[in-house]
Amino acid sequence: MTGAEGFARDYRVGFLSHLARRSEASLNRGYELGRAAVTGGLGILEVARVHHEVLLDVLRGTPAGELADVAGAASEFLSEVLATSDMAQRTLLHPR
């Protein structure tokens, strides 16, 4: 299993957990996934690809009345996952 495959597996588990119980703990898991992506050398585009695949999979089984709720949860989770990449990019572009 490659780093990207492991990340995709962990992302799916973390995202499904966040959908089931939106909490600080599930958001923290997203943040930790983002840190693992950065330290593992995965780029933002790879993270976005994984997010898209997982979200599409979830949406296929989501009733129409719950789509907005799932989309909101997906946005929250992805924001946490990308937080480390955002901080790293800001540090590189605007060192103090």
Work out the average pLDDT over 61-87. 94
CA distances from 96 to 77, 86, 88, 93 (A): 29, 16, 13, 10
Give all domains of the chain, ordered by start, each with its CATH number.
Answer: 3-93 (1.10.1240)
Return the pLDDT at 51: 97
The span from the CA of 84 to the CA of 89, in Å, is: 9
Residues 6+ apart with CB under 8 A from 80: 27, 28, 30, 31, 34
Q: Which tops the pLDDT comparison, 67 or 1? A: 67
pLDDT tens digits for range 1-55: 568 889 999 999 999 999 999 999 999 999 999 999 999 999 999 999 999 999 9
